[in-house]
Structure 1
Amino acid sequence: MLTSKQRATLRGIASTYETIFQVGKGGISDTLVQQVSDALRKRELIKIHVLDNCPLSAREAAEELSEKTESDVVQVIGSRLVLFKRNPKEPVIKF
């Protein structure tokens, strides 16, 4: 669980990040979950875009992805969401 100060720090870092995944009309598939999990292991912080034709809202997609990847939702703004999961062996982001 993230504190509000950690969440604010991560939001600032994520503002400079590019969106690396999109959730489309297929919704959240097992393949997407695996790719997001791999990206979180490597980067710790990722930004995802939920397309208009997705059956889920950005908030619903964030909650489902965070549950399936065991990560924390940092932020949901409009159709974009940011997820964070600390890598215990090789942390990339230091608090």
Structure 2
Amino acid sequence: MLTGKQKRFLRKEAHHLKPVFQVGKGGVSANLIKQTEEALEARELIKLNILQNNAVDKEDTARQIADGAGADIVQIIGNTIILYKESKESKQITLPE
């Protein structure tokens, strides 16, 4: 679980990132979760975009992806989700205490 200070730090780090994946009308699939896990292992911090044609609530979508990938939701702003998961192999981000 991330603290408020850590979330602020990660939001700042994610500001310049471009969304890696888009969640469309197909919703959350096993393939999307698998790809999200791989991207998080490589980058630790990613953005996802929820398209307008997605009928599912964005908080539910974010929770499904985060739970499936074992990640923490840093922020949901507009139709953008920011996720963080500490990498086992290539640790790049050092969180504040």
TM-score, structure 2 as length reference? 0.93
Cα distance in 2 between the residues matched to 1:14 and 1:66: 16
Q: Look up the match of 2:7.
A: 7
Q: Look up the match of 1:31.
A: 31
Note the residue ranges of structure 2 that are not aligned, 5 or more in a row: none
- Aligned residue runs from structure 1 range 41-60, under 5 A: 41-60=41-60
Note the residue ranges of structure 1 that are not aligned, 5 or more in a row: none
Cα distance in 2 between the residues matched to 1:6 and 1:43: 17
Task: Give the count of matched residue pairs.
Answer: 95
Bigger relative CO (Cα 8 Å, ≥ 6 apart): 2
Deviations 1:19-62 (A, max 9, x none): 11000010011111110010000000000000011121221111
TM-score, structure 1 as length reference? 0.95
Q: Sequence identity of aligned pairs in percent?
A: 38
Cα distance in 1 between the residues matched to 2:45 and 2:39: 8
